[in-house]
Chain A
Amino acid sequence: MNDPNSIIEVKDLTIGYGERVVMRNLNFSVKKGEIFVIAGGSGCGKSTLLKHLFGLYAPISGDILFKGKSIVNSDEEERAEMLRDMGVMFQGGALFGSDTLLENVTLPMKEYTDFSQELIERSARFKLALFNLSGFEHFLPSEISGGMKKRAALARAMALDPEVLFFDEPSAGLDPRSSASLDQTILDLNASLGTTIIIVTHELDSIFTVAQRVLFLDVEKKTMTALASPEELKNDKSNPAVWNFFNREPF
């Protein structure tokens, strides 16, 4: 039975590359309007799981439901329809290098809406301004800093005002202040637009600032071993892997 409060439901999911299993027996759901963090050590499969959640990779087995519909078994058209409700910010930004920031942001709007050129450009400029990129509309991605690239990527992910935003390691490579501002932006987006936000990260500061619930992936056991608020996980001594992670215990 599908839970009406869930926007994404993961059922008995096993993921991997070819026959190599990365994670198995994943069962969880993400609630509408929630800030949900997927955490775990480096190389545990966090980003791989995230890419499965928006249908980029096909799982080995199991199912992922988006608003009650299977994203795994959907055809191309249905999936494109679902992807319009999702925005993704990739780790390195993944901005199109030969396009300006404005062109990067306008691209999804041009493809998916019948808006006039003026409206599309106004909207794109507004999205860029939202992330402090006014004045940089005609810059190429190679001409701006790493932090700005992430913000531009976020503006592009927000182009169609999606219901769910996926972040792959948003604070990777950012200085502490930029990282803190990005965290604040995530909180603002969630509070003002009610956007459901799913973040992959291992930055504890970020997790404690933004996360409402944290899914912990255990690299040794190749499955999820905890799902709770960050405070609960920090104080949970029953699960050594989780406790070590949240209390920065060295190996």
Chain B
Amino acid sequence: MSESTFVINRENTPEGLLLKLQGALNLQTAEKALSELSSLIRSGEKLSLDLSEVHYLDGQGVAVMIELKARCAARKAGFEIVSKSAVCEKMLGLVNTDRILPELPAYRRQESLFEQIGGATIDLYEDLKEIVRFVGECSIMTWQAVKAPSKIRWRSVLTTLETTGVDALPIVCMIQFLIGVILTVLGKSVLGMYGATAFIPDLVAIALAQELGPLITAVVLAGRSGAAYAAEIGTMQVSEEIDALRSMGFEPGHFLVLPKMIAAGIAMPCLLIFGNVVAIIGSIITCLLTTDVTLPAYVREVYKAVSFHMFTEGLVKAFFFAVLIAGISCMRGMQVRGGAESVGRCTTAAVVSGIFITILTDALFTILFHPPF
């Protein structure tokens, strides 16, 4: 008899049906055996099984027995194993099958739409509370750092400055160059209709200095450095390094978060200036190639269009975006509990929250700098 053969021999007895099973009850035969055996259950009658000729029974076989017993119970039929081979005796003796629930627990009920909305709202409320608490903690930390700047871990600030600033320069410049090109092409197609291509430099410079420059650089920072901060702190959380810091009496906020916030706050305005210069270069090249605007005319227009106030507004925005992105990313890292899956989830959350808080702050700044009323 091959390994995967399974045969049922039926015999009617005064008590009910006696099934003599032969062969192997394993991964290959389990499903078929269960359906065949289940079809033989008769309500109110006893189902007796003779397993003396079952030469192989594995975990699936045991599962068939437990499920069969449960199905017999559901149809008020008796269930008994009258005889077992040595193999079955051993396998069924490994666990007390009565302790394994005959009734499978009901699968978790699908939450209704209202419950899902309610749950999500509560989560959002808790998350906002956490953000407010963290912003408070960061403010206290910053105040303490201002009072005693010598206590700041400047070496850490410098290292982070390199990864957040210098290393991000190529990608920021490349993106800003393309933004300069895109804005110019867009400007040409719209302004060109009115014969106002001479104002392309104004459009590009104002958009970059005031809005697009800080925003695009912030998105790059959130995606690049924010994710890195969250993953770094999250992994430290998993490997108990944060606990180790606390056990040495070091406050992780002061030790890990503050240097990152300072570094991001310094790096971002620098990145913005570099990025904007490169974007203007991109725009100049496009202008010279596709319009009749000359280089001196371009430069003159930019000088005329961008005021000192506008330039500072961009830098102030960039600074706040960076500090908030760094802070919120570190907070997400601190929220890691458990293992690798949680690190991934919190890193994603760091990028999403970083971009969200950037847009939110940008809206607030726009109202502040340009009051609508």
By a beta-carbon cutoff of 8 Å, the part of chain A in contact with chain B is: 51, 54, 56, 76, 79-81, 83-84, 86, 88, 90-92, 94-97, 107-108, 111-112, 166
List, sorted by A's number, 21 A–B pairs whose CB atoms are closer than 8 Å.
A56-B243, A56-B247, A80-B249, A81-B249, A83-B247, A83-B248, A83-B249, A84-B249, A88-B244, A88-B248, A90-B244, A90-B247, A92-B239, A92-B240, A94-B239, A94-B241, A94-B244, A96-B241, A97-B241, A108-B248, A112-B249
Determine which residue in B235, B249, B250 has the highest number of CB atoms from chain A within 10 A of its CB, and name it. Answer: B249
Residues in chain A near residue B243, CB distance under 8 A: 51, 56, 90, 94
- Closest CB in chain B relative to A248 CB, distance in Å: 21
* B75 on interface, CB distance cutoff 8 Å: no
Q: Is B304 an interface residue (CB 8 A)?
A: no
Scan B40-55; emit 1 where CB is below 8 A from any A CB, else 0. 0000000000000000
Chain A residues with Cβ below 8 Å from B240 are 90-92, 94
**B129 on the A face (CB < 8 A):** no
How far is B248's CA from A173's CA once the two chains are assembled, in angstroms? 24
Q: Mark contacts of B197-240 with chain A using CB atoms, 8 A cut-off: 1 yes-contact digit, 0 otherwise.
A: 00000000000000000000000000000000000000110011
Closest to A77 in B: B249
A76–B241 CA distance with the chains assembled, in angstroms: 19
Chain B: residues with CB nearer than 8 A to chain A? 235-236, 239-241, 243-244, 246-251
State the Cβ distance, B243 to closest chain A Cβ, in Å: 6
Contacts of A79 in B (CB 8 A): 249
Set of chain A residues within 8 Å of B236, measured between Cβ atoms = 96-97
Q: Is the CB of A54 within 8 A of B241?
A: no
| Least distance between A42 CB and chain B CB atoms (Å) | 17
**Residue on A nearest B244 in the bound complex, by CB:** A94
Contact of A111 with B250 in the complex, beta carbons under 8 Å: yes
Of all chain B residues, the one with the shortest Cβ separation from A159 is B248
Chain A nearest CB, measured from B273 CB (Å): 29
CA distance A112 to B240 in the complex (A): 21
Chain A hits for B248, CB < 8 A: 83, 88, 107-108, 111
Q: State A79–B248 Cα separation when bound (angstroms).
A: 10
A80 to B235 CA separation, bound complex (whole angstroms): 24
Task: Report B-chain residues with C-beta under 8 Å of the C-beta of A97.
Answer: 235-236, 239, 241
- Shortest beta-carbon distance, B239 to chain A, in Å? 6
